[in-house]
Amino acid sequence: MIRILLIGLFLAGTAGAVVAYGDPDRLSRAGDSISHMLRQKSLSAPPPVQIPRGQGGEFSLKARINGVTAPMVIDTGATSVVLTWETAKAIGVPVEMLEYNVDLETAGGHAKAARLTLDRLSVGKLTEKSVPALVVPRGHMKTNLLGMSFLDRLESWGVRSDRLMLHGYPEVSRRK
């Protein structure tokens, strides 16, 4: 969305320059105006979300899924976010209507899962919308997995000194 806004500003400035090409003063004022607008906007990266390593070596966290807090474990081996049946029910998914038709290999063995899309998934100040996810049948998993369908949307992530660092993309914000 931010990129589209910046491209739109650039195109509007270019269109203004084309209209004013016959008048050097108007062209200069248009260029100054665009420069001024871009200087007032800055790309500011949100601070990274830091998740400490647990005693068992895992990175556990509390996420907000569609506004509901849920425990999760980072799993870079999971291609998708995977929710327990209990969490899916808690966030308002009509679990009785899910179609479990996706083959899934978990640490507990083979399972069938149901596809869904999460409206919002937040970890700290990082929020992603329309995140693909899977739900496993009741009792099949004990915890939710924060997999690659969320992590791939971040600018970067990595482990540094027993902390998992999640970096979101910069956002356009006004300078104060």
Q: What is the pLDDT of residue 139?
A: 87
pTM of the predicted protein model: 0.72
Q: Which part of the chain has CATH 2.40.70.10?
A: 49-172
| DSSP state string for 105-129 | EETTEEEEEEEEEEEEEEETTEEEE
pLDDT tens, residue order, the chain (176 aa): 566 665 665 656 565 555 555 566 665 666 666 655 555 445 666 789 999 999 999 999 999 999 999 999 999 999 999 999 999 999 999 999 999 999 988 777 788 999 999 999 999 999 999 999 999 999 889 999 999 999 999 999 999 989 999 999 886 544 44
Q: Nearest to residue 137, comparing CAs of 82, 171, 100?
A: 100
Architecture of domain 49-172: Beta Barrel (2.40)
